[in-house]
Amino acid sequence: MADEIEIKIPDIGGATDVDVIEIMVKPGDEIKKDAPLITLESDKASMEIPSPQAGKINNVKVKVGDKVSEGDVILTLTTSAQSEASKPAVSIDKKAEKKTEEKTEETPKVEKTVTTSQRLEVRVPDIGSATEVDVIDVMIKAGQWVEKEQSIITLEGDKATMDIPSPAAGTVEEVSVKVGDKVSQDSLILTLSSEETVAKEPVKPSSLAVQSTEKEEIEQPEKGVSSLKTESFEKTAGVSVSAGPSVRRLAREFGVNLSEVKGTGRKSRITKEDVQLYVKTKLSEKQAGSFSVPSAPVIDFSKFGEIEVKPLNKIKRLTGINVHRSWITIPHVTQFDEADITDLETFRKSEAENAKQAGYKLTLLAFVTKVVAKALAAYPQFNASLDVAGENLIYKRYYHIGIAVETPNGLVVPVIKNVDQLSVSEIAVEMAQVSAKARDKGLMPTDMSGGCFTISSLGGIGGTAFTPIVNSPEVAILGLSRSSIKPVYEQGEFKPRLMLPLSLSYDHRVIDGAEAARFTRFISEALSDIRRVLL
């Protein structure tokens, strides 16, 4: 005999009107117990709703985009009478509960179960492209009882460490690895004596057994729902992440902190592929600075004299974090050159009054920015970014240039978009606008994102050269120092020329010295004869 039941939304931690973002079944599907039916997503988390019962789907009551709450009907399911006795009470209507009670009174036959022991080999799971990693810690020994998901060993690659959990509970029979060993995927870690429950011949249940079965029917769904709430709405390192239960389970197996994983799914939802790519990247990337940087000693400066402690503001803290990361992860090289801007400066000054009347200031930096856009088009490797794995170069077909601006609160880098499509005058106008917004604390995050290349100018202050730090994920940065009159030998005599110092820092993984020299020569020659920009 078959019965139709309604599968409803279980307790989802008090959340209401959550979005249905995925439906994994359709009418006519035969499903097993615990098969995922739909995926729900709130503002900060997502969860899969499993089926509490096996059967055939009759009608799906929800669709993608619907908003649902606890108790709403998901679908109707035709289930056999044999499986009725074991279904949970949380998502079944009252009629189904009465039928369960009637069948209990008829004292149907149930299966007797016994516990047996099986020998299980625990092996190293998929650890990405890393072929051999070091065993740096063995946390168990022979004869020890371990729980499911308990960490048993720790592995270390070139850039990351990970704990390997036990896939089952049981007693450790033999440990096959030791600290210092090198292992790879499928290497044997240990053998485990794990308990397994198997069914024997059917027998009539006593009244006590019937009571026990009824108790399990009531308690098990509560446990399942509680686990679902905890798993789906947990916070990783204090930050809510959007990931399904299966993704969270995979993350636990690899010891991955989901707050560090970038999601590529809908609304930045984290997928299994995102977790696998994260693990692969951490174990295989070979970056500069992979060694552990020693901590600076703590010094009590007050014992030398009077001091005053002032906390860094947010801009300086974030800038410090970013430049430190860039410095230790990017192999920097800096090359120096000069540009003869004598004729350019004469032209700029001749147009300065017209620009002032038009309401903007025509600066040397506007000319340099336009020339840099031309140089990026001529040398596309400078208008690129290296992917996280360090295996691919991402070329950009747009030209957004960041301009470092000093403010009372610290250094910010607003970005001028599509410089290649702007005239020098338009660049000067936009540069004045973003600089004013920066000093008035009016910059939005979008004003400082999307840059391809950065220019840092100290020309108004002084200095002859410096080594600017690459603004990651860009691959190069141009520094400008103060121009000065120098004797330049031309046509058999020395002539006074106005020379602009150029300092180009670049990522040596992407750009070699010869390319950098050609790049600065292109800029120098274009600034020496601005007519080249028109070609």
pLDDT digits (tens, 9 = 90+) for 210-252: 343 433 333 343 333 333 333 333 344 345 567 776 788 788 7
Residues 65, 193 within the same domain: no
Q: Give whole-number Cα distances, 327 to 61, 470, 472, in Å.
A: 55, 8, 9
Strands (E), 82-160: 110-123, 133-138, 145-146, 151-156
Residues 85, 128 within the same domain: no
Residues 130, 62 within the same domain: no
Kind and range of the H or E run holding 209: helix 207-232
Residues 47, 136 within the same domain: no
Confidence of residue 372 (pLDDT cuts 50, 70, 90): very high
Number of C-beta neighbours around residue 353 at 10 A: 10
Does a structural domain hold residue 229? no
CB 344 within 8 Å of CB 368:
no
Residue 477: pLDDT over 60: yes
274: CATH? 4.10.320.10
Does a structural domain hold residue 209? no
5: CATH? 2.40.50.100
Does a structural domain hold residue 182? yes
Residues 356, 486 within the same domain: yes
> Of residues 324, 332, 400, 508, which has the active-site annotation?
508
Does a structural domain hold residue 254? yes
103-112, 160-169, 281-290, 367-376, range with the lowest pLDDT: 103-112
Q: Domain residues for 84?
A: 1-109
> Please, is 192 exposed, middle or buried when counting C-beta atoms within 10 Å of its C-beta (0-12, 13-18, 19+)?
buried
Number of domains in the chain: 4
The 10s digit of each residue's pLDDT in 131-178 is 788 888 888 988 898 888 888 988 876 545 677 888 888 899 999 999
Tokens coding 404: 């470092």
Kind and range of the H or E run holding 526: helix 513-528
Does a structural domain hold residue 211? no
**Measured between alpha carbons, how far apart are the two ends of the chain, in Å?**
84
Quote the CA–CA distance of 72 and 232 in Å, as a whole number.
19
Single-letter code of the amino acid located at 113: T
Does a structural domain hold residue 280? yes
> pTM value?
0.48
Residues 143, 164 within the same domain: yes
Residues 149, 79 within the same domain: no
Residues 6, 133 within the same domain: no
Helices (H), 359-502: 364-378, 424-439
pLDDT of residue 206: 40
Residue 392: pLDDT over 70: yes
376: CATH? 3.30.559.10
Listed residues 66, 81, 109: the one ending a domain:
109
Tokens coding 483: 């121009």
Quote the CA–CA distance of 381 and 507 in Å, as a whole number.
11
Instruction: Kindly state the DSSP code that residue 409 receives in the 8-state scheme.
Output: T
Does a structural domain hold residue 208? no
Residue 91: pLDDT over 70: no
Residues sharing a CB contact under 8 Å with residue 2, sequence separation 6 or more, in sequence order: 78, 79, 80, 81
Backbone φ, ψ for residue 279 (5° rounding): -65, -45
pLDDT of residue 20: 86
pLDDT of residue 233: 37
Residues 147, 192 within the same domain: yes
Does a structural domain hold residue 291? no
Quote the CA–CA distance of 233 and 255 in Å, as a whole number.
18
Kind and range of the H or E run holding 98: helix 94-105
3-state helix, strand, coil split of the chain in percent (to 5) is 30, 30, 40
Quote the CA–CA distance of 247 and 275 in Å, as a whole number.
8
Residues sharing a CB contact under 8 Å with residue 133, sequence separation 6 or more, in sequence order: 127, 155, 156, 157, 182, 183, 184, 283
Quote the CA–CA distance of 362 and 358 in Å, as a whole number.
10
Quote the CA–CA distance of 270 and 266 in Å, as a whole number.
9
Quote the CA–CA distance of 85 and 322 in Å, as a whole number.
60
Residues 398, 509 within the same domain: yes
Residues 85, 119 within the same domain: no
Higher pLDDT, 519 or 159: 519
The 10s digit of each residue's pLDDT in 127-142 is 765 578 888 888 898 8
Residues 128, 85 within the same domain: no
262-276, 382-396, 473-487, 518-532, range with the lowest pLDDT: 262-276
Instruction: Check if 508 is active-site.
Output: yes
Q: What average pLDDT does the chain have?
A: 81
